[in-house]
A and B are shown apart, each in its own frame.
Chain A
Amino acid sequence: MLSGFVVADELAKILASYRGNRSELLSILREVQDTFNYLPEEAMRQVAKFIGIPESQLYSVASFYSHFRLTPLGRKRISVCRGTACHIRGAPQVIEEAGRLLGVKESETTPDLEYTLETVACIGCCALAPCLRVNEEVHGEVTLKKVRELLPDLNNGA
């Protein structure tokens, strides 16, 4: 977890470019998350004060949108697309294999904070289904073999 000081410092820099309007809320949360890779509790307290709304309302917004996370993310973020084209071309097997290799379930992070496995609604690369993303890089026409090339078998050593 991040210390309060680090958060306060970085947060002040982010908030400096905002006026505190409610309509800036999603942009602020996005920037906070881009900086810390999740929404730290301390930052949430400060953002609520900055906008002038109760923390409960801020959490209600943050928890509504799937983009926002209240817990830290692994350094490598594996996002498997579960769009329609991906689904009928084998995404369920890709998700299963990735989970087996990393030893985690969907939306979980490995204990060393190295990998997070998640599924996303649609990456929009449907013509190359099934696809997955490692951080920002999209891999198309993913086979189980390709999954094994992309991800280490953490289960094996355990």
Chain B
Amino acid sequence: MADGQCTVTVCQGTGCISNGADRLYAALQAEVVRLNLGDSIHVKQTGCQGFCQRGPLVITRPDGTFHCRVTPEDVPDFVQSLLPGGKPAERLYYRDMVTARATAHWADIPFYYQQERRVLRNCGHIDPENIEEYIAAGGYRALHRALFEMAPEEVIAEVKRSGLRGLGGAGFPAGRKWESCRKAPGEPKFVICNADEGDPGAFQDRSLLEGDPHSVLEGMTIAAYAVGAHKGFVYVRAEYPLAVRRLGVAVTQMREKGYLGKGILGSGFDFDIEIFQGAGAFVCGESTALVLSIEGKRGMPKALPRPRTSEVGLWGKPTLLNNVKTFGNVPLIIAHGADWFARLGNAQSKGTAIFSLTGKIVNSGLIEVPMGTRLREVIYDIGGGIPDGRAFKAVQTGGPSGGCLPASMLNMPVDFDSLKAAGSMMGSGGMVIMDEDTCMVDVARYFLDFSRRESCGQCTPCRVGTQQMFAILDDITQRKGKPGDIEVLLELGEAMAQTSICALGQTAPNPVLTTIRHFRSEYEAHIYEKRCPAGACRAYL
């Protein structure tokens, strides 16, 4: 490290903190004070730097040297390495699992250089609790532009032209939703950010809120201007205390700076945001259920036929509800234009996709890639493949609403429509990799166990269907499977998909249907040959 100013960015995401990054941050600060180096070394907290599995992570800037698995005990040597003439802390560099070659610069590491970090551009770079850093990184320029250079209709037109689709899972065109909310009669209107990230295996919304809350709040404010709302809510899971805290800090700073409140930036547009904590109900990700939850009621989806939330939402008023990542894209679209945004992606899915890449994979963490990137590239180039010399078996996307895709589909592009056509879905962005030791019947059982617990119980197909499917799957994993079980599962799944009143029940069979479609022989081995090919179900050992 050369002499002069050096910033030490210490990841303070939930993943790194659970590896001791909070103690590391304190130790680094103490060491810098002890050596009286405060003038040349600036120790700074950031949100998720992405490579959670190798945490705690520390990147020094401006040089970009990446250090992983840094412990408080490493601090004295590490700080010495930053001094003029100091020996680089090579011991803490990233090493390739296969070649053991060390890489110094973060951008040279395969996990990073094959990504396109747009929405996550600030995550891991700026201090999420300091609005000045967000502004210095270009933040709130888009809001300024929207308020002073664009009419609300022009903002909506730009979002429509960009092709942005809802990143909560369903992929509904964002601009069309905004337009329908703007045109819907009724006052006052509301904007809600859906941060009820309930899918097991997904943490991308949490990471964005923890790492760059202002980008999401700026997107919400622009959306409120576009649809004509003056009050917004962030509906966030109570299980994400750090995200809740950082959102609170960000909203306070916005008010102080005049980005929220009466006459924002002197424009005459009023808007304020309230943080609303959910209370642990997966079904509240459904828009009508989420709205009822804010109203202080049981979060159960409204009966069919139900009006669109964009027309009849919170307290019966037009309400724009989008996912965290959808709002995170909005400042980029307004600042750089729709054409710039649409340059990435393929015909029907524009921009980027953010995934939590986890499971049986060498490099796990938070990633962002252009829509249309092939599954193989995500799993092998960025993810580094399957550890311990095991063979890839399946990739699961979309959580309990999605499905498991086999090796033969690895060349499929990752986008809304391709995943849906394959029986899975984009979902909120969980991507779990499974190897030959994972039993697909057990995985299906696992997801149905989740869905039966989370079913709100109001419609029969979902309430009874999830229980029955679970019971059959449980029997199969317990060596009690019977001929005909597969056929009953298929029949039940079809009925639930067609008759449940909300997406939870309609999509709950997907994990079962896709595993039967692609891994039927595993079901048959359990039922007819009384063996579990993966060696995972204990009743067969």
Chain A residues at the B interface, C-beta cutoff of 8 Å: 21-27, 29-30, 51, 60-61, 64-68, 82-89, 120-129, 131, 136-140
Contacts and interface: CB of A to CB of B under 8 A. Distances in A.
Interface stretch (B11-19, B247-255, B330-338): B11-19
Nearest to B454: A121
Contacts of B456: 64
Contacts of B446: 84, 87
A25 B241 CA distance: 19
Contacts of A23: 294-296
Nearest to A88: B438
A22 B295 contact: yes
Q: What are the nearest 3 A-B pairs in CB distance?
A: A84-B201, A25-B296, A138-B18
Contacts of B443: 87-88
Contacts of A85: 200-201, 358-359, 364, 432
Nearest to A25: B296
Given A66-B281, A128-B15, A128-B52, A122 B240 contact: no
Contacts of A127: 15, 52-53, 203, 356-358, 364-366
B432 A125 contact: no
Given A126-B202, A127-B356, A127-B364, 5 more contacts: A23-B294, A65-B278, A68-B279, A88-B359, A128-B19
Contacts of B296: 21-26, 51, 61
Given A64-B281, A138-B14, A140-B18, A122 B358 contact: no
Nearest to A91: B446
Nearest to A28: B296
B200 A125 contact: no
A140 B15 CA distance: 8
B18 A131 contact: yes
A64 B456 CA distance: 8
Contact of B279 (A65, A122, A125, A128): A65
Contacts of B197: 124
Contacts of A86: 200
Given A66-B281, A67-B279, A126 B298 contact: no
Given A65-B281, A67-B280, A127-B358, A122 B299 contact: no
Contacts of A120: 239
Given A64-B281, A85-B201, A89-B359, A125 B299 contact: no
A126 B364 contact: yes
Contacts of B438: 88
Interface of B: 14-15, 17-19, 52-53, 55, 197-203, 206, 238-241, 276-282, 293-300, 356-360, 364-366, 396, 399, 430, 432, 434, 438, 443, 446-447, 450, 454, 456
7 contacts: A84-B200, A89-B359, A89-B360, A122-B201, A124-B14, A124-B203, A137-B18
Contact of A121 (B55, B200, B434): B200
Given A125-B15, A127-B365, A60 B298 contact: yes
Contacts of A65: 278-281, 299
Contacts of B293: 26
A137 B19 CA distance: 10
**Most B Cβ at <10 Å: residue of A51, A61, A83:** A83
A88 B434 contact: yes
A30 B277 contact: yes
A123 B201 CA distance: 9
B241 A136 contact: yes
Contacts of B357: 127
Contacts of B356: 126-127
Contacts of A123: 14, 239
A85 to B, nearest CB: 4
B470 to A, nearest CB: 14
Contacts of A126: 201-203, 356, 358-359, 364, 430, 432
> Most chain-A CB neighbours within 10 Å: which of B238, B366, B456?
B238
Contacts of A60: 298
A125 B359 CA distance: 11
B524 to A, nearest CB: 22
Contacts of A68: 279
Contacts of A137: 18
B277 A26 contact: yes
A121 B295 contact: no
A68 B299 CA distance: 14
A61 B279 CA distance: 10
Nearest to B356: A126
Contacts of A64: 281, 298-300, 456
A26 B233 CA distance: 14
A61 B18 contact: no
A107 B1 CA distance: 52
Nearest to B447: A84
Contact of A30 (B279, B366, B432): B279
A87 B293 CA distance: 29
B364 A88 contact: no
Nearest to B293: A26
Among B279, B364, B430, max chain A CB count under 10 A is at B279
Contacts of A29: 279
B14 A84 contact: no
A61 B200 contact: no
Contact of A61 (B52, B203, B297): B297
Contact of A88 (B55, B241, B432, B454): B432
Contacts of A139: 18
Contacts of A25: 296
Given A66-B279, A84-B430, A125 B201 contact: no
B422 to A, nearest CB: 18
A85 B434 CA distance: 9
